[in-house]
């Protein structure tokens, strides 16, 4: 039980114990409210540059199952109240400590995660360091910024996925740093999918002859991706479009809207998104620290909003057959876009 420290940028220190990689790390500390799904959190590239704090008190009880991985681990650190050293599940391959060591991610356990969460909720997201000794100078922690997030997680090559059945339509999928689930889902539904790199050109998308384009989720500040937003603007009205997460934010930026950083973000699978004009509310999975500022929207109509804080969760640009959501879309929402594309 080696001692390890979590040091916040305001000087607050939490003492705990080390697990995972034997290294020190600085990152943006955020809290995730999921009760299950820690494997997906650990392998979600949209957590790039972040130290993830799990609010659920015990993590790792069903171990690590590699077939449940959704991407590459990009975390800067991992914080839990208690980790299960002897997981019990028939699918378990190894424990969470080995995973963190293999992925070179430092972890700390035995800290009061409830108090930490309350601090972040009251003061907002802060930078933090996982370290073996408390630093005398906090400048490195205070000055930390997540930069080049999409550059370090987004796709860099063109890949083509073909369905096993007859091809219904052709979808271009711009990889801004997402998990690898969506292209497989579309392929299983009978669609040809061409995955495009994050630094695509509009003319390359149009040259594919695709029937529609999807912009995936991704990490970081959307305003770092102004070149991507400029290319998206060139595609508006040319073919049906659908944006998810960061893709949603970049579509809004391309149409003159603005984005702002939330105090502590939306990280978890219990975010309520209300469907505008109905009594329906979806419980959604999200991981983002930025949102589209609703007062800045010049084009399109808000289609979903967050019940907790009123932030924008979706925009419909009906005249251009373009739609976007801030959250992980349900099968029904994806089906609605595919129907628009097919028509």
- Give the residue extent of every domain in the chain: 3-145, 150-342
How high is the pLDDT of residue 342?
87
Biggest CA-to-CA distance, the chain: 64
Q: What CATH fold (topology level) applies to the domain 3-145?
A: Glucose Oxidase; domain 1 (3.50.30)
3-145 and 150-342: identical CATH topology: no
pLDDT of residue 178: 84
Residue 292: which of 312, 322, 262 has the closest Cα? 312
Q: Are 254 and 233 in contact (CB under 8 A)?
A: yes
Fold of 150-342: Rossmann fold (3.40.50)
> What's the pLDDT at 247?
97
Counting other chains too, the contacts that 67-70 makes at CB distance below 8 Å and 24 or more residues apart are 67/91, 68/39, 68/40, 68/43, 69/39, 69/43, 70/40, 70/43, 70/44, 70/179, 70/180, 70/181
56 phi/psi in degrees, rounded to 5: -70, 135
Check: CB of residue 180 under 8 Å from CB of residue 217. Answer: no
* pTM for the full predicted model: 0.94
What pLDDT score was predicted for residue 249? 98
Other Cβ atoms closer than 10 A to 147:
11
User: What CA–CA distance (Å, rounded) separates 87 from 96?
Assistant: 9
Q: Which residues of the chain have pLDDT under 50?
A: none
**Alpha carbon distance, N-terminus to C-terminus of the chain:** 61
Instruction: Supply the pLDDT for residue 184.
Output: 87
What is the phi/psi pair of residue 149, to 5°? -65, -50
Q: How far is CA 247 from the centre of its chain?
A: 11
Residue 281 to residue 175: CA distance in whole angstroms? 28
Whose CA is closest to 74, among 40, 54, 50? 50
């Amino acid at each position: 039980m080696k001692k390890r420290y979590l040091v916040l940028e305001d000087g607050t220190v939490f003492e705990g114990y080390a697990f995972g990689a034997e290294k020190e790390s600085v990152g943006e500390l955020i809290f995730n409210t999921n009760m299950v799904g820690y494997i997906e959190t650990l392998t979600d590239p949209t957590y790039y540059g972040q130290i993830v704090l799990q609010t659920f008190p015990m993590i790792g009880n069903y171990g690590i199952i590699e077939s449940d991985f959704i991407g590459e681990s990009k975390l800067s650190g991992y914080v839990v109240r208690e980790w299960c050293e002897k997981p019990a599940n028939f699918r378990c391959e190894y424990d969470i400590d080995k995973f963190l060591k293999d992925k070179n991610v430092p972890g700390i356990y035995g800290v009061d995660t409830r108090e930490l969460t309350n601090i972040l909720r009251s003061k907002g997201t802060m930078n933090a360091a996982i370290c073996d000794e408390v630093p005398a100078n906090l400048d490195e922690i205070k000055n930390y910024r997540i930069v080049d997030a999409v550059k370090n997680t987004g796709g860099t090559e063109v890949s083509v996925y073909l369905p096993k059945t007859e091809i219904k339509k052709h979808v271009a999928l711009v990889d801004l740093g997402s998990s690898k689930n969506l292209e497989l889902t579309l392929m299983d539904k009978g669609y040809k999918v061409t995955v495009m790199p994050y630094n695509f050109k509009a003319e390359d998308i149009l040259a594919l002859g695709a029937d529609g384009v999807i912009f995936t989720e991704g990490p970081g500040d959307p305003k770092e991706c102004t070149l991507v937003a400029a290319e998206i603007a060139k595609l508006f009205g040319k073919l049906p479009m659908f944006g998810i997460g960061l893709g949603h934010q970049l579509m809004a930026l391309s149409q003159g809207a603005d984005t702002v950083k939330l105090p502590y973000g939306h990280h978890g699978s219990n975010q309520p998104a209300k469907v505008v004009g109905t009594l329906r509310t979806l419980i959604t999975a999200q991981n983002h620290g930025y949102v589209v500022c609703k007062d800045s929207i010049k084009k399109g109509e808000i289609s979903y909003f967050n019940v907790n804080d009123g932030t924008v969760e979706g925009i419909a640009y009906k005249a251009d057959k373009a739609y976007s959501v801030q959250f992980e879309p349900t099968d029904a929402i994806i089906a609605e876009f595919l129907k628009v594309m097919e028509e």
